């Protein structure tokens, strides 16, 4: 569980923060399509690794929500934001679907936050 959470928070999430995106756009002069492509490449790499490690039980590591699910679900949202095809990641999509039915995940969804861009 901790290893999965660490994969998201250390290997995947930092690559699509505002600071990194500003660097890609600014210093490297990448357009938005190139930024999306760069981020999608690394996101797919991380999702492939996670897909191979998680359970078939509907959650990442068993039959209840763990820290791994809490870290993974927002990363799936980010993957969609950067146009990553999630079709190859059936177990990950199952985790997201199952968690999306739970009130805490619904309340934490980025679109429900006070600073959400509408």
**Domains in the chain with CATH codes:** 2-110 (1.20.1050.10)
Could you give the CA distance from residue 24 to residue 38 in angstroms, rounded to a whole number? 9
pLDDT, tens only, 70-98: 999 999 999 998 999 999 999 999 999 99
pLDDT of residue 47: 98
The span from the CA of 7 to the CA of 50, in Å, is: 8
16-30: pLDDT as tens digits: 888 999 999 999 999
H helices present in the chain, as ranges: 2-6, 18-25, 32-51, 67-81, 90-100, 103-108
């Amino acid at each position: 569980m901790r290893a999965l959470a660490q994969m998201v928070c250390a290997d995947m999430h930092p690559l699509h923060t505002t600071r990194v995106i500003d660097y890609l756009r600014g210093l490297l002069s990448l357009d938005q399509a190139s930024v999306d492509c760069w981020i999608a490449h690394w996101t797919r790499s991380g999702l492939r690794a996670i897909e191979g490690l998680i359970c078939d039980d509907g959650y990442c590591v068993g039959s209840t929500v763990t820290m791994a699910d809490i870290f993974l679900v927002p990363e799936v949202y980010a993957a969609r934001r950067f146009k990553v095809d999630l079709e190859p990641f059936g177990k990950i999509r199952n985790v997201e679907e199952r968690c999306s039915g739970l009130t805490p995940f619904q309340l934490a969804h980025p679109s429900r936050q006070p600073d959400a861009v509408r």
